Amino acid sequence: MSEHNEIDRVSGRSTTGHEWDGIKELNTPLPRWWVLTFYATIIWAIGYWVVYPAWPLVSGYTTGLFQYSTRASVATDLADLEKLRGEKMAVLGNASLADIEKDPALLALARARGKTVFADNCAPCHGSGGAGAKGYPNLNDDDWLWGGSLDQIMQTIQFGARSGHAKTHEGQMLAFGRDGVLKKDEIVTVANYVRSLSGLSTAPKFDPAAGKKIFTENCTSCHGDNAKGNPELGAPNLTDQIWLYGSDEETLVETITNGRAGVMPAWVGRLDPVTVKALAVYVHSLGGGK
């Protein structure tokens, strides 16, 4: 260093001997506290190597004195969270669905819990606000395939529909066309009849009497004599304004020809009972259930 030393005539200080475009760098010493802080960080880093996991090895790493692991700390945090929730969730678990509906505090708690669980598990099919999509029921309206009471909603969440679970809802829209029960023109006729049930327009050459005959012979066993549906079988009400797959003639023909069998998974093994209860309360509150 000393052989580079040169005095800057303006400032009276020595330079480092480094020069860029005629500008020389002054050899300005660092403040002592700065240098000491720098040394302190080096000592701190050495301490860090010893105390925390730091060095990668061929198969593994140095674990450090504290055996610190982010994975373990997440597990601890989650356990702490469960413990924190435990007391309140226990109250929720012990209350009946009707009690929860009546108690504003419990209702708020169940809805808050249900909302997050819904977002994590149900939103992919039913949408983040439960608005549904084609083939996935809207949970905000007043039409419930399998019943809209709190108990019925909880039942559906627990065991699903056509989920393969022993207690699941069963019920099938038959494939009248594919199975050869109805011919193409009969399907078109009954599709128009079904549209007429909800007051929708029908095709010009549609014969209502023929439609009614086909409907009575094939459909009333599930959808009922007056086509109001049957929540036991998940058979939809065909006289209302809500259509799970669509109400146009083409969609109805497709439905009657090939049948429908949407699946709702069973959540009984995946979510704990208290969570399912909270979820049922939340879903019921979306549109007020039935």
Partner 1 sequence: MNKPVSPDELTTDEDGPLYAPRKKVYPQSVSGRFRSIKWRLMAVCLGVYYLLPFVRWHRGLGAPDQAVLIDFPSRRFYFFFIELWPQEVYYFTGLLVLAAFALFLMNALGGRIWCGYLCPQTVWTDLFYAVERLVEGDRRAQMKADAGPMTVKRAGRRALKHAIWLMIAWWTGGAWVLYFADAPTLVRDLATLQAPVIAYVWIAMLTASTYLLAGYMREQVCVYMCPWPRIQAALTDEWALNVTYKYDRGEPRCSVKKAFDIRSLGEKAGDCIDCNQCVAVCPTGIDIRDGAQLGCIQCGLCIDACDAVMTKVSRKTGLIGYDNDINIQRRVAGKQEIFKPVRARTVVYASLITVVCAVMLYALMSRTLLDVNVLHDRNPIAVRLSDGAIRNGYTLRFLNKRGFDRVIAIDVDGPADAKLHVIGADSVTPDRPMIVLGRDTTTELRVLVTAPFDEKAEKSVPVTFRVTDIGLGEVASATDHFVLP
Binding site for partner 1 (CB under 8 A): 5, 7, 9-14, 27-29, 31, 101-102, 104, 107-108, 111, 127-131, 138, 140-143, 237, 240-242, 285-288
CA nearest neighbour of 154 among 267, 234, 230, 286: 267
Q: What is d(CA 119, CA 105) in angstroms, rounded to the nearest whole number?
A: 21
Beta carbon nearer to partner 1, 252 or 286: 286
Q: How many whole angstroms separate alpha carbon 47 and alpha carbon 171?
A: 67
User: Nearer Cβ to partner 1, position 175 or 242?
Assistant: 242
Looking at residue 7, the DSSP 8-state letter turns out to be B
The CB-of-275 to partner 1 minimum distance in angstroms stands at: 20
Minimal distance, residue 236 CB to partner 1, in Å: 10
Vertex 114 angle, CA 263 and 106, to 5°: 140
The residue with tokens 């009546």 is 102
Contact in structure between 261 and 172 (CB atoms under 8 Å): yes
- For partner 1, the closer CB: 131 or 210: 131
Residue 26's DSSP bridge partners are: 15
Q: How far is the CB of 284 from partner 1 (least distance, A)?
A: 8
CB of 27 to partner 1, least distance (A): 7
CB of 114: closest distance to partner 1 in angstroms? 12
Nearer to partner 1, 135 or 164 (CB): 135
Which residues touch 255 (CB under 8 Å, ≥6 apart)? Answer: 173, 245
Number of C-beta neighbours around residue 92 at 10 A: 20
Among residues 69 and 247, whose Cβ is nearest to partner 1?
Answer: 247
